[in-house]
């Protein structure tokens, strides 16, 4: 059974989270629940929707946190309850060797995620990255490393 990683947009427009979740759930339904294992950095948006879809199927997931200050510096106040809940439900949690969150830490965490997965689901609208570590950068890195990528961007989905 492949270990499935995720990358995707953090900011999703109203109504897009439901579309993305349904698309993720449909994609993951093709894998036996007993063997389903995901890898995520647990950012808001696509990463957390992926974790919820994995749990709904009865699977497990591991989390790669970009830096030791990630929760206090990068997780927004409105997202803290969801982040904490999903972090507590992870099978394992590991931290990258960065004290401060930022673009280099995010890209390093994504590289580690790619090292751990056999397939990458990319919740991506196809646009290029605006800054280091955005979804397009992770897709490009996966392709360069030979990690298969499945792009998911359901009809009607929009960035927030």
Query: What is the residue-averaged pLDDT of the chain?
Result: 97
Topology of domain 6-10+12-119+130-152 in CATH is Rossmann fold (3.40.50)
Instruction: Write down the residue that tokens 């427009």 correspond to.
Output: 13
Element (H, E) at 50: helix 46-56
Residue 159 DSSP class:
B
State residue 132's pLDDT score: 84
Q: For the whole model, what pTM was predicted?
A: 0.97
Pairwise CA distance, residues 95 & 85, whole Å? 17
Question: What residues contact 56, with CB distance under 8 A and at least 6 apart?
Answer: 25
Instruction: Write down the pLDDT at residue 6.
Output: 98
The string of pLDDT tens digits covering residues 36-75 is 999 999 999 999 999 999 999 999 999 999 999 999 999 9
Task: Convert the pLDDT of each residue in 121-154 to its tens digit.
Answer: 999 999 998 888 899 999 999 999 999 999 999 9
What are the backbone angles phi and psi of residue 122, rounded to the nearest 5°? -115, 110
């Amino acid at each position: 059974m492949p270990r499935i990683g995720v990358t995707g947009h953090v900011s999703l427009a109203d109504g897009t989270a439901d579309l993305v979740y349904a698309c993720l759930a449909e994609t993951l339904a093709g894998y036996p629940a007993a063997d389903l294992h995901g890898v995520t950095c647990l950012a808001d948006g696509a990463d957390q929707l992926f974790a919820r879809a994995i749990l709904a199927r009865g699977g497990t997931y591991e989390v790669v946190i970009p830096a030791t200050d990630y929760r206090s510096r990068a997780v927004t106040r409105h997202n803290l309850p969801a982040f904490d809940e999903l972090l507590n439900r992870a099978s394992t949690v590991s931290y990258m060797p960065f004290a401060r969150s930022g673009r280099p830490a995010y890209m390093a965490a994504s590289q580690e995620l790619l090292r751990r997965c056999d397939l990458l689901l990319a919740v991506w609208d196809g646009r290029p990255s605006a800054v280091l570590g955005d979804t397009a950068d992770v897709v490009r890195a996966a392709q360069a490393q030979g990690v298969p990528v499945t792009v998911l961007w359901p009809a009607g989905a929009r960035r927030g």
